[in-house]
Amino acid sequence: MELKHFIDTQDFTKAELLDLIKLIRLIKQADKQGATPKLLEGASLAMLFEEPSTRTRISFEVGMTELGGHALYLKPGEIHLGVRESLSDTAQVISRYVDVIMARTLKHETMLGLVENATVPVINGLTDYNHPTQVVCDVLTMIEHAPEGKKLEDFNVTFVGDATNVLSSLMFICTRLGMNFTHAAPKKYQAPDAWMEIAKANCKQSGGSIRVMEDPIDAVKDADFIYTDLWWWVGQEDEIPERRAAFMPRYQVNMDLIEHAPEHVKFMHCLPASRGVEATDEVMDSDHSIIFDQAENRLHTEKGLLVWLVYPHLKKASAEQKAVHAGQIVDFLESHF
Ligand code: CP
């Protein structure tokens, strides 16, 4: 079985992504009945973080435990990741200990370096370029909250705000699946040409559509889902006054903007959020908001991803083989100690 990594949704076809979402839904159904199968019994996950995390860290660790496995949290600065040891050596060594690696790296190149050298599956838990696990979870959440009878290919998704790593992944997966995607932002903060080229190529294949515009009111008028993300991130503190001036108040998701969308519109945010900045409390805590269902779905998504990538590679010894090995070891211990 070929080794598969999960670094970019662009590495997968529409059919593969929809199959993954079907698997996640089966695992979620099992979880809701208290019947999660222990498919990864005895398996280990290394979680490498160069940045802090709440959702990614907890959902992967809890997910692995619920599947019968074990997760190691290797927090920023805890291991040699390109410092005092080459990335290649670290990736090869970790691969000898664990069955799967999940990493959050500052630079996308670090993620690609891990993939190049690891001999177990690597899952991208966010880089400066993208956040693929988040957006698989987002599509699952959209399917669960779509207007009754509406086909996935007819979903209208509008992202209002900065061209973040979540935006790149969201526009890629939505266009790959054939949805209609709109980005509304001031010119300077709109999706770059390179991302637009990828999204347009996806649309050509899938029949989806992609638009970028400055007017947020026009952008939300047919939206089934309005999504936003932080306007600045760690390392962009110097830009806060300029960014605040560019986005506020026009691009804030508040009730005035929601009222320009269809009545059924749902509000999404990957979190963490700066409440009162990119979205108001009134919206985040309204009936339109599905942000906590979205956050919960990270857990089900991580479990689906882990099973999808790891289960096919686990060594599955028969009861007879296990008994033979246990017998040999016990005989040795009893005759020597
Ligand atoms: N959405 C998300 O990735 O959250 P964390 O940064 O808390 O992991």
In this predicted structure, the answer to whether residue 110 has a pLDDT above a threshold of 90 is yes
**Arithmetic mean of pLDDT, 103-115:** 96
CB 63 within 8 A of CB 306: yes
User: How far away, in angstroms, is 272 Cα from ligand 1 center?
Assistant: 6
Give the list of residues 6+ apart from residue 208 with CB closer than 8 angstroms, or none.
Answer: 153, 174, 175, 176, 177, 178, 179, 180, 181, 202
Residue whose CA is at the smallest distance from ligand 1 atom 4: 55
* DSSP per position, 212-278: EES-HHHHHTT-SEEEE--S--TT-GGGHHHHHHHHTTTT-B-HHHHTTS-TT-EEEE-S---BTTT
In this predicted structure, the answer to whether residue 76 has a pLDDT above a threshold of 80 is no
Q: Is 146-289 CATH 3.40.50.300?
A: no
CB 206 within 8 A of CB 14: yes
CB 110 within 8 A of CB 127: yes
In this predicted structure, the answer to whether residue 260 has a pLDDT above a threshold of 90 is yes
| Structure confidence at residue 175 (pLDDT) | 98
In this predicted structure, the answer to whether residue 243 has a pLDDT above a threshold of 90 is yes
In this predicted structure, the answer to whether residue 167 has a pLDDT above a threshold of 90 is yes
Is 56 a pocket residue for ligand 1 (Cβ < 6 Å)? Answer: yes
Closest ligand 1 atom to Cα of 57? 8
User: How far away, in angstroms, is 326 Cα from ligand 1 center?
Assistant: 42
CB 96 within 8 A of CB 120: no
User: How far away, in angstroms, is 223 Cα from ligand 1 center?
Assistant: 25
Task: For residue 244, indicate whether it is catalytic.
Answer: no
Task: For residue 211, indicate whether it is catalytic.
Answer: no
Residue whose CA is at the smallest distance from ligand 1 atom 3: 56
Task: For residue 190, indicate whether it is catalytic.
Answer: no
Is 53 a pocket residue for ligand 1 (Cβ < 6 Å)? Answer: yes
**From 133, 141, 298, mutation site for ligand 1 pocket: most ligand atoms within 8 A of C-beta:** 298
Is 126 a pocket residue for ligand 1 (Cβ < 6 Å)? Answer: yes
Task: For residue 131, indicate whether it is catalytic.
Answer: yes
- For tokens 């479990």, what's the residue? 303
Q: In terms of Cα–Cα distance, which of 133, 169, 130, 162 is closest to 236?
A: 162
Separation between Cα atoms, residue 115 and residue 107, nearest integer Å: 13
In this predicted structure, the answer to whether residue 78 has a pLDDT above a threshold of 80 is no
**Arithmetic mean of pLDDT, 52-68:** 97
Task: Kindly indicate the confidence band of residue 196, based on its pLDDT and cuts at 50, 70 and 90.
Answer: very high
In this predicted structure, the answer to whether residue 314 has a pLDDT above a threshold of 80 is yes
Q: In terms of Cα–Cα distance, which of 289, 313, 304 is closest to 133?
A: 304
Closest ligand 1 atom to Cα of 52? 6
Domains 9-130+297-314 and 146-289 share a fold: yes
| Structure confidence at residue 83 (pLDDT) | 75
**From 271, 296, 302, mutation site for ligand 1 pocket: most ligand atoms within 8 A of C-beta:** 271
User: How far away, in angstroms, is 300 Cα from ligand 1 center?
Assistant: 15
Task: Based on DSSP, count helices (H) and strands (E) in the chain, helices before strands.
Answer: 13, 9
Superfamily of domain 9-130+297-314: Aspartate/ornithine carbamoyltransferase (3.40.50.1370)
pLDDT tens digits, 288-302: 999 999 999 999 999
What percent of the chain is modeled with pLDDT above 70? 100
Task: Kindly indicate the confidence band of residue 53, based on its pLDDT and cuts at 50, 70 and 90.
Answer: very high
User: How far away, in angstroms, is 1 Cα from ligand 1 center?
Assistant: 31
Residue whose CA is at the smallest distance from ligand 1 atom 7: 54
| Structure confidence at residue 1 (pLDDT) | 81
**Arithmetic mean of pLDDT, 49-70:** 97
CA distances from 87 to 40, 226, 229 (A): 27, 39, 31
Q: In terms of Cα–Cα distance, which of 135, 77, 90 is closest to 116?
A: 90
Whole-model pTM: value is: 0.96
Give the list of residues 6+ apart from residue 101 with CB closer than 8 angstroms, or none.
Answer: 45, 46, 48, 91, 94, 95, 114, 118, 120, 121, 122, 123
Q: In terms of Cα–Cα distance, which of 104, 102, 8, 19 is closest to 63?
A: 102
| Structure confidence at residue 206 (pLDDT) | 98
pLDDT tens digits, 18-42: 999 999 999 999 999 999 999 999 9
Task: For residue 215, indicate whether it is catalytic.
Answer: no
In this predicted structure, the answer to whether residue 75 has a pLDDT above a threshold of 90 is no
**Arithmetic mean of pLDDT, 304-318:** 96
Is 136 a pocket residue for ligand 1 (Cβ < 6 Å)? Answer: no
**DSSP code for 82:** S
Q: What's the start-to-end Cα distance of the chain, in Å?
A: 41
Task: Kindly indicate the confidence band of residue 81, based on its pLDDT and cuts at 50, 70 and 90.
Answer: confident
Q: In terms of Cα–Cα distance, which of 102, 105, 97 is closest to 76?
A: 105
The ranges assigned to domains in the chain are: 9-130+297-314, 146-289
In this predicted structure, the answer to whether residue 77 has a pLDDT above a threshold of 90 is no
**Arithmetic mean of pLDDT, 230-234:** 92
Judged by phi (left if over 0) then psi (alpha if -120 to 50, else beta), residue 218 lies in alpha
User: How far away, in angstroms, is 280 Cα from ligand 1 center?
Assistant: 19
Burial class (CB in 10 A: 0-12, 13-18, 19+), 84: exposed
Closest ligand 1 atom to Cα of 131? 3
Q: What is the mean pLDDT of the chain?
A: 97
The one-letter code for the residue type at 46 is A
Catalytic residue among 5, 55, 57, 104: 104
At 133, list the tokens: 């696990």
Least confident segment among 137-141, 169-173, 234-238: 234-238
Task: For residue 134, indicate whether it is catalytic.
Answer: yes
What percent of the chain is modeled with pLDDT above 90? 94
Is 95 a pocket residue for ligand 1 (Cβ < 6 Å)? Answer: no
